[in-house]
Structure 1
């Protein structure tokens, strides 16, 4: 038997497939979020796509539908402290695993956006590059992760109003970098990221 045939023979038949994606790997501040979604094939959601391609309003509308129609969904995060301790990739994998573990319905398989597979998942899993634009359950996960993280940034803005987190959502925009230079890092900033680390050692 060919190796590829053996692989497919050993892979379980997928009944409940969870799509998993993250939001917030690139920003200079705030947690990284991940979501896992098992869609209901009998309740299709129109307009699912990579969250970055959707307007903020459309993401919020779809997030309501996903939470209402999905068989199961879960949102998790890894903290700024975990990002600085583990590095952003490993913290992202941790958030993804937490999201998968948080599903009320145990998945038979997980499909994950990108090319990195989190360790320790409780089911068979595979990665799909550009899955957030091509696989409905991953698109749904990307939307839930993104809207959850955006909501967290609004809370950060209330806590640290000098940094305009409501506008740049923690990304390294010119505005954010200027405010970071003026006020220095706040507790929400990721110390391991170069623009923040530079200010701490200068």
Structure 2
């Protein structure tokens, strides 16, 4: 990870935070992942040597860029899903600027529709979208992890604990998976196959 990348990411994060502070409606905010969480995710991809990566919730691409920077080193490929075309366009612009667009497959559309029609397996999945859909997503996500080494990471599980409580209970009740919560950023919930 080079200094130019780190400096650009710091600048972008400050711009996104400033934008969010001016928004009165939650859905208008970018709601990007915290830098410490993004760094953790990028480290996890490197340690695990993840090749097939799925991100649900691109927003303006802050986390996507961190994932792509790591995937570039592992010869990996990211598929990232976002329902808002304008936010995807922003993310694509930043990816091109940083020379990371060749490792990212940007998809615009409903995540549930993508999950319902996807038969791929992933080494690494980041879930950072509308939390009220997570329980429904789980029906597909549980089958999309590469057996024995796939990992799912869910953001905002401490900051929005009540909103993900049902999802976490559902996952924890499945004996096929091991879980833990880390107090990194807004809270990361890690799920891996036994």
TM-score range, shorter chain: under 0.3
**TM-score for both structures, normalised by structure 2:** 0.26
TM-score by length of 1: 0.25
Bigger CA radius of gyration:
1
